[in-house]
Amino acid sequence: MTRSQIPTPKAHLPKMTQTVQWNLRSLRSNREEVDMLLSEFHPGVVCLQETQTKANSNVEFKNYSSYHCPGSETNGIFHGGVAMLVKNDLAHKDIKLRTSLQAVATRITCFKSITFCSLYLPPSAKWSKSDIEDLIDQLPPPIVLLGDFNAHCTEWGCAKNDSKGKTISDLLLQRNLTLLNDGSATYLHPGSGAQSAIDLSICDPSLYLDLSWRVHHDLCGSDHFPIIINSNKALPTETRCS
């Protein structure tokens, strides 16, 4: 199921939780752009893909706790990688994952306790539906799974279907998960200018009506648009992680 276009709340509202999802194509190159997004949207959670970081990379940002999984290395060059930033005033707990996939996950108390996961599936990587299912099984529900899946399907706005797209589409149905995407393009090919929607925002059905989804108007130095997810639920007066 895909989300119809609905009005989006203003960028920064009291007691509201916002999430930024973005394949930034190198944290080192686009660190200032991340700072700008933090300043503009004041997100409680930031899920980044293709950070191109190694294990000891600096992914620290003021007022945020950071968690990251390094990418793969080829001839001294790092590819892929994911990270998650969580605002320090949100109660949260890192989840240790057992997976070969590039993923990080954190249990966060916002308007309720939710498990957020940032995932990157490189276009050349070989993975199976069972790999994704095994990852999901490690995430306490309800979940919000945000990532660059490099999977094409007309269901979420791509011009074509491929085998990876079919696998993800089947997985959503079989695991009773909901897609927040509204059909908007999330990726702009730097050479051809072709657009596609390969960045997916997946959530538990119980969260669907609590969240609104939109693509930011500016690429911010990447070839993927940042995605802004708003919650229309107020934060509790005291946050506790369950």
Pairwise CA distance, residues 213 & 152, whole Å: 19
Q: Give the domains, in start order, of the chain with CATH numbers.
A: 18-231 (3.60.10.10)
Pairwise CA distance, residues 215 & 142, whole Å: 23
Residues of the chain with pLDDT under 70: 1-16, 73-78, 234-242
Q: What does pTM read for this prediction?
A: 0.89
The pLDDT value recorded for residue 8 is 42
The pLDDT value recorded for residue 2 is 47
The pLDDT value recorded for residue 75 is 63
Pairwise CA distance, residues 108 & 226, whole Å: 21
The pLDDT value recorded for residue 9 is 42
The pLDDT value recorded for residue 33 is 97
Q: pLDDT tens digit string along 76-105?
A: 666 799 999 999 999 999 999 999 999 999
